[in-house]
Amino acid sequence: MRVHGTLFALAFAPLLASCVTDSSSGEGPGGKADDSSTSWKFDTDHKLDKAFLRTTNPELSDAGFDAKWNGALQGVEGIPGPLLFMRSFPGGFHKDLTSLLSPAVPGPEGICLGDAHVGNFGFLQIEGNTVFSFNDLDDSGFCPIALDAARYFAVLQVFFHDDKLTKSAIDQYMKTLTDPTAAVPIDPASLPNWTKVQTKGVAKLTTAGSATFNFDPTNPDTSDLSAPTSQEVDAIKAGIASSPVGQATLLDVASVAREFGGSGGLRRYLLLVDSGGQRSVIELKETTTPAVELGRHEQTLPGETRVATLKTTFWHATNPANDGDYYNVEIAGSPFLVRNKYTKKSVDAYDSTNMPQVATIMAQVSQMALIHQPGWSTASSGELAQLQAWLGDGAMNLAQRWEGAYTVATAP
């Protein structure tokens, strides 16, 4: 199995792990936020509240947005309320920053991740290769590169409340921008066995001995699944008919309920298919305007080539338009992203049980820097120093801004 990108030497793990502290207390070695950071100033034409965030989700009905809003405020296991709140509105994050008055955003515009945070990186199987990279294309596109990185570090600060960890992550990002060979690779012990991932994944969602999804609401693996209507199934069949997945035998369809997160409220389906005796689960995920297009941007990726461009930029795909995974179809007039659910395996740094969190974070920021690096390749040392200071201030200011908005939203 070939692996693109970098592989993390196991010998480095203890060194990096020594930097991490017990985040369960809510306070890391940095204690409270650095009082020396520069305060950011925003135009007062809006508040970061429900009314403003509603404007960034026009595709949702009022009832759908209310469900997303309430879900974002409640938090889920392993993701506390302030973090889920910030993660749930990537479009709101980018649109809010159009009102930033000072300091000025440094650097160029380039292709951005859009919804950069520690839960959106992992392994992907791309054209027979295993790639470790950013893995969520929903909100990607052109934006000021510095804002893209600022989102990652602000979300990191909201979750860990560890100033030293945030600073170390920014330092590693800057090192990789300056010297790509300084990128920290991911732990090779975490590389997935894709055959096992597929087999276990399909078994987890289906009824043993049958060709159907398991709709048992008491099963935590399938409690969010339900049977779609016959009209929905007909629309799906029509939408995928001429696509690669349409060439497989469709065994069953499930509707997936998701009310929280950046794609909360949007429609999502799972298809159980058989291709040459091999069963797979294909995900259909409704898409909308990428978050970056709600914020500062001068360029826009053309819709017809957007996914292919992102696959090449993030994952080094060489035949992105014809590899049979991650492409768009139209179902009942709405765009959906098609992807194999088990050619992707997240490496989630929120979960401390998976692997050393700091090692994972350093690998993630290294990959983000490698994607951003072409935009900074001609920057002077002074410009890079300005960026580093700006990111440090941004992490603190944006974390405080979103945590403050969450506090107001949840006040009695």
Residue 221 tokens read as: 């693996």
Give me the pLDDT at residue 80, please.
81
Angle formed at CA 362 by CA 88 and CA 144, multiple of 5 degrees: 55
Per-residue pLDDT tens digits of the chain, which is 412 residues long:
444 443 333 233 333 333 433 333 333 333 444 455 689 999 987 889 999 999 999 989 999 899 999 989 987 767 888 999 999 999 999 999 999 999 999 999 999 999 999 999 999 999 999 999 999 999 999 999 999 999 999 999 999 999 999 999 999 999 999 999 999 999 888 899 999 999 999 999 998 878 999 999 999 999 999 999 999 999 999 999 999 999 999 999 999 987 666 566 789 999 999 999 999 999 999 999 999 999 999 999 999 999 999 999 999 999 998 888 999 999 999 999 999 999 999 887 776 655 578 999 999 999 999 999 999 999 999 999 999 999 999 999 999 999 999 999 999 8
183 plus 200 within the same structural domain: no
Considering only CA atoms, which of 171, 164, 85 is closest in space to residue 399? 85
At 363 the three-state DSSP class reads: helix
- Coil, helix or strand for 281? strand
Query: Are residues 41 and 126 located together in one domain of the fold?
Result: yes
Same domain, 327 and 365: no
106 and 143 part of one domain: yes
Instruction: Judge if 101 and 240 occupy the same domain.
Output: no
| Predicted local confidence at residue 264, as pLDDT | 66
Are residue 206 and residue 160 in the same domain, yes or no?
A: no
Looking at residue 271, what is its pLDDT?
97
Phi, psi of 77 (to 5 degrees): -55, 125
Clarify whether residues 204 and 185 are in a common domain: no
For residues 290 and 287, give the distance between their C-alpha atoms in angstroms, rounded to a whole number. Answer: 8
What is the C-alpha separation between 64 and 377, in angstroms, rounded?
43
Q: Which residues contact 76 (CB under 8 A, 6 or more apart)?
A: 84, 260
Q: Of 325, 343, 361, which closes a domain?
A: 343
By residue range, what is the domain housing residue 317?
A: 194-343
pTM of the model: 0.89
Q: Residue 353 has what pLDDT?
A: 59
Q: Do 104 and 14 reside in the same domain of the chain? A: yes
Residue 157 is encoded by which pair of tokens?
Answer: 């600060």
Count how many domains the chain has.
2
The helix/strand/coil state of 162 is: coil
Residues 349, 355: Cα–Cα separation, whole Å: 8
Helix (H, G, I), strand (E, B) or coil at 105: coil
Kindly state whether residues 164 and 283 are assigned to the same domain. Answer: no
Give the model's pLDDT for residue 24: 34
Check whether residue 245 and residue 276 sit in a common domain.
yes
Reported for 85-88, long-range contacts at CB under 8 A and 24+ positions apart, including other chains, are 85/402, 85/405, 85/406, 85/409, 86/154, 86/155, 86/158, 86/402, 86/406, 87/115, 87/117, 87/119, 87/155, 87/261, 87/262, 88/260, 88/261, 88/262, 88/264
Please tell me whether residues 339 and 240 are part of one structural domain: yes
Q: Tell me which of 321, 343, 365 is where a domain ends.
A: 343
70: Cβ contacts below 8 Å, ≥ 6 apart: 259
Q: 157's torsion region: left (phi>0), alpha (psi -120 to 50) or beta?
A: alpha
Are residues 44 and 22 both part of a single domain?
yes
Sheet order of strands, 249-256 included: 225-226, 249-256, 268-275, 278-286, 334-340, 327-331
Closest to 46 (Cα-Cα) out of 114, 105, 99: 99
Looking at 316, 343, 370, the residue that finishes a domain is 343
CA–CA distance, 68 with 412 (Å, rounded to integer): 19
Q: What is the pLDDT of residue 355?
A: 57
